[in-house]
Structure 1
């Protein structure tokens, strides 16, 4: 046991609000969808029942449609923007009206595999909700083939350059005055710009004005893009959900059909000019022509290839600490600005799972070691400058602490749970 182990567990306890976990105090005062899934993985290393509680609380706010919202406003915090009044979803407890990458089934499998006997009943209760969420993705957001997002926030990679072409078509000029909380907690230069935020709120207002009707948002909303990152997370999650379903004795042929359909759509997001998977504006058909970390999640879904390998090593070798969230050679690269360059430990962990499964233990260990160095140097921050490991974003961050406990601290002779 190390001092960092103790600190990581303490952060999960510090951010634990009883059944759900904040990403960090101040900056993110509510429950976030995919943050919560990673928190469950972290809790499972020392408190298995609490891990299942986290997943249960997340799925308890699932909409009747099957969608699981990206924020759950358990206790109103008036200082946060955009709060429940801006979203106007009418849910109890209040929630946002959009979702996030469906990593929960993958995390549920990792948690379950740590103690299958103890988790079987919890998994059995959770499974139908996960299945309904995956059905929603297939029926609502994969109608164009790959997984589509209707707001950059749905990607979990809010301001990455992938979305610039889609955001350019969003008119944010009519948004009224508002006060952001994030720039009061973090250096504004590390956060999305005001112009970005005006457009984000414009998209939210469209959803609210149409009553959060899925079809209207997809057909007429101001933003609709295919997201490689979400596509690969979903493709992997389909596989993990099928494994869980089989373990519970369910027929998983429908999940396998969803996965086959999604995999067959991958050529639609392959950009030969870029030599990589690429985001695509579904309103115009245009590629973003930007290489981002979402493309590399292909390895998590078993969809890598030699061309992507070349791009991966090019961008990785250009930095020193983990895989950057954007291409270091692109004009849009900013090493400390949220998703326009920094290295994110939780994303590194997902990529390492993919490398390991695809027979590249050397890449997985390089990534683990670089991530370990960042955390050893500075502790559990939200993200890091990939050039010098400078800590960025929020401190005492839940999913970074979780990644330490589950992956970053483990040497190569330690088996990574759930990697098989």
Structure 2
């Protein structure tokens, strides 16, 4: 028995709140969208029923228009800000008003395939939920049909305080209707968290969209932050591939055609965001019309869902190796040595097991299994040395952020399956 796997499973038990898993106690006391999708994939390796339950509980928060919010507030807690009273959404179960990267359909396919015979009845309602959310992305967040989906809030990227948002966020006022009452810095060292100025801008955006009644068309018009984002689109495309696979499996021919059209649109749009001089892909700021040139992990995530020409894949891997050189833990979320790089501060440099998981899959897909294996071993070594931390300082290897973290535990179980 691998004692680390045993420990990972105990973390998932400790963070269980009744069919859904909180990322970690107190710091994140609710159900988070993409966290739960990663957790479901971890569960799928040893407890199929619990894997399904994780996804089913997440869809309880799905809105009538198809959006699956980034937080579902199943039960109250006073250890997190902003809570349901700040979001002011109108859903039956309290939720946030924004979304998160759509890992859901990726997880659903893996869960379905692990479940084997008689899984269709349980998978189908979740497939329907995933399809509704998929349609929402392309209507609410790409009304101009470009193929790249836009984010209205840095939290939607999952990479909350990434240097990718610095230029766009600088245009967002720091004034808020809602008093900013941070709780996160009471649980974790403030040097590892977003700065106060970031939080004021995060809450200004929240207030802006709440004033729109969370109406997608109004938000699109009013949004002071609008980024056609490469990481989210790459995850959406992979989710689209998995959704199209399930549609064909279930004989849903019309659905499959519709999803394939979405996928083609995003595939073409993403390829156009390749920048040879940078050796990575870039997002686009829809307000300024300019490329988002900040050097972050997002530029490599298209490996996950594109079958790239060899020269592009090779260039990405060369650049990844440059970033990782001399680090104790790969892969950094910001290029080491640039001005915005902070190896301990949340999404401004640290290595995250789930980002590595996506990159490993992408490296395998694009003919670089050795680079994928190196990254897998780096991730496993970090976890076995430091425990199931939220993320890791790539220079020292130190586990940072929240501890006993669910998606790190799930990632470890998944990465150890081979």
TM-score by length of 1: 0.95
Match status 1:45 vs 2:53: no
What do residues 253-275 of structure 1 show as CA deviations (whole Å, max 9, x unaligned)?
A: 11000000111112453345533
For residues 92-241 of structure 1, what are the structure 2 equivalents within 5 Å?
92-144=92-144, 145=146, 146-175=148-177, 177-241=179-243
What do residues 77-117 of structure 1 show as CA deviations (whole Å, max 9, x unaligned)?
A: 13321000110001121000000000110011111222221
What CA distance in whole angstroms lies between the structure 2 residues aligned with 1:2 and 1:313?
A: 30
What CA distance in whole angstroms lies between the structure 2 residues aligned with 1:296 and 1:108?
A: 24
What CA distance in whole angstroms lies between the structure 2 residues aligned with 1:218 and 1:271?
A: 27
What CA distance in whole angstroms lies between the structure 2 residues aligned with 1:234 and 1:395?
A: 29
What CA distance in whole angstroms lies between the structure 2 residues aligned with 1:63 and 1:180?
A: 27
Match status 1:66 vs 2:74: no
- Mapped contact 1:186–1:394 kept (Cα < 8 A): yes
What CA distance in whole angstroms lies between the structure 1 residues aligned with 2:198 and 2:271?
A: 30
What CA distance in whole angstroms lies between the structure 1 residues aligned with 2:217 and 2:272?
A: 22
What CA distance in whole angstroms lies between the structure 2 residues aligned with 1:214 and 1:124?
A: 27
Aligned length: 410
What CA distance in whole angstroms lies between the structure 2 residues aligned with 1:110 and 1:390?
A: 31
Divergent runs of 4+, >6 A: none
What do residues 236-259 of structure 1 show as CA deviations (whole Å, max 9, x unaligned)?
A: 110011111111121101100000
What do residues 55-81 of structure 1 show as CA deviations (whole Å, max 9, x unaligned)?
A: 011112111111100000111113321
What CA distance in whole angstroms lies between the structure 2 residues aligned with 1:329 and 1:11?
A: 34
Q: Please state how far the C-alpha of 1:171 moved relative to its aligned partner.
A: 0.3
- Mapped contact 2:26–2:79 kept (Cα < 8 A): no
What CA distance in whole angstroms lies between the structure 1 residues aligned with 2:118 and 2:14?
A: 25
- Mapped contact 1:236–1:301 kept (Cα < 8 A): yes
- Mapped contact 2:234–2:301 kept (Cα < 8 A): yes
Unaligned stretches of 5+ residues in structure 2: none
TM-score by length of 2: 0.95
What CA distance in whole angstroms lies between the structure 2 residues aligned with 1:181 and 1:24?
A: 14
- Mapped contact 1:142–1:262 kept (Cα < 8 A): no
What do residues 5-41 of structure 1 show as CA deviations (whole Å, max 9, x unaligned)?
A: 1111111111111121100001000000000111111
What CA distance in whole angstroms lies between the structure 2 residues aligned with 1:15 and 1:373?
A: 23
What secondary structure is seen at the aligned counterpart in 2 of 1:329? coil
Match status 1:349 vs 2:354: no
Please, which moves more after superposition, 257-266 or 195-204? 257-266
- Mapped contact 1:318–1:328 kept (Cα < 8 A): no
What CA distance in whole angstroms lies between the structure 2 residues aligned with 1:319 and 1:399?
A: 22
Q: Please state how far the C-alpha of 1:296 moved relative to its aligned partner.
A: 1.0
Please, which moves more after superposition, 206-215 or 259-268? 259-268
**RMSD of Structure 2 on Structure 1 (CA):** 1.4
